[in-house]
Amino acid sequence: MTSKGMRHSGIVKRFLLVTFGAIVALYLNNASFWAQPIGPQPVLVAHRGLAQDFDRTGLTNETCTAAHLLPTPHKYLENTIASMRAAFTYGADFVEFDIHPTTDGHFAVFHDWTVDCRTNGTGVTREQTLASLQSLDIGYGYTSDGGKTYPFRGQGIGLMPSLDEVLTTFANHNLIINIKSNDPREGKLLAERLAQLSPERQKEIMVYGGALPVSIIQERLPLIRTLWISKLKKCLVRYAALGWTGYIPQACERSMLMIPINYASWLWGWPNRFLQRMATVDTRVFLLANYRGEGFSQGLDDLPSIQSLPDDYSGGIWTDHIDVIGPAIKKDATE
């Protein structure tokens, strides 16, 4: 071999060694097995407390889910004090609930934009007083047989709580508040209410929903973790581009990330290294069911989905069936 050929061969070898070293370093820097779990067991979020299940076939934003009731083994109605208390009893670490402002300056805890589907009332939820909303029967519209029977009629009168009731009743529990609008006035009103809480209490509350109101919460109450869709996308896109270096985008800081399970494995360092990195910026991570391009995914609601997670997974799990998932997770943790 000529000297020129030897020099070329040496350059190639050095290039290959450098490339190999870079690949090894990249792998080790993002290897999950090198990182310890951030906790002893998963953290559970009960979506709307303990709720009645419904058929999701052909579901759209206009579907009245109460009219598609499925058999469930309990009597609880979503977003009520009783359903939240039951959720905590079943092992929830957080309870998520929905709010709407009322015309008299309060917040009602209720999911739907109007009261027509679920109650015996009519009209837009936020265009009514708290007293009028609390006079409704929130179990009125539930049916599983096309309207032949209504098993919860008469049982939901006066059960729609206010935000103040929830904050008072569960003063020592972790809560997640969902703002259903993109109205900045709602963010200002909620910020004023949550500002009355102690700094320690604010740390136990998260708020997500429309970008305009939730960004006001982030600005005025930085101890509260917040999330909106564009913030989530910015965090994950920037992390996908640069997270291999260990860099954590500012959009990921002091947040709550809702991640479909079918996207999680694409995150650098998933699960333990990723969860550790998010924990260093005081961010919580919650897994959802598979995303299929139709809005947010539903929760992880069946035991096979839970069993598919890594054995040492200690991030969050978002579920609509805390009565199923909670006992299984807590039981496994004590065995």
Give me the residues paired with residue 124 across strands.
Answer: 114
Quick one: 158 and 265 in the same domain?
Answer: no
296-305 pLDDT, tens digit each? 568 999 999 9
Identify whether residues 175 and 59 lie together within a single domain: yes
Same structural domain for residues 162 and 233?
no
Q: How many domains are contained in the chain? A: 2
Give the pLDDT score at 323. 96
- Do 135 and 259 lie in one domain? The reply is no
pLDDT tens figures, 81-137: 999 999 999 999 999 999 999 999 999 999 999 999 999 999 999 999 999 999 999
Q: Is the pLDDT of residue 333 over 60?
A: no
Confidence category of residue 283, pLDDT binned at 50, 70, 90: very high
Long-range contacts of 72-76 (CB under 8 A, 24+ apart): 73/323, 74/50, 74/323, 75/152, 75/155, 76/49, 76/50, 76/51, 76/52
Band of the pLDDT at 76, cuts 50, 70, 90? very high
Smallest CA-to-CA distance from 197 within 222, 167, 174, 226 is with 167
Domain that holds residue 57: 44-180
In a shared domain, residues 76 and 158: yes
Q: Is a pLDDT exceeding 60 seen at residue 335?
A: no
What is the spatial distance between Cα 9 and Cα 15, in angstroms, rounded to a whole number? Answer: 10
Q: Is the distance from CB of 178 to CB of 97 less than 8 angstroms?
A: yes
Residues 256 and 263: their CA atoms lie apart, in Å, by: 16
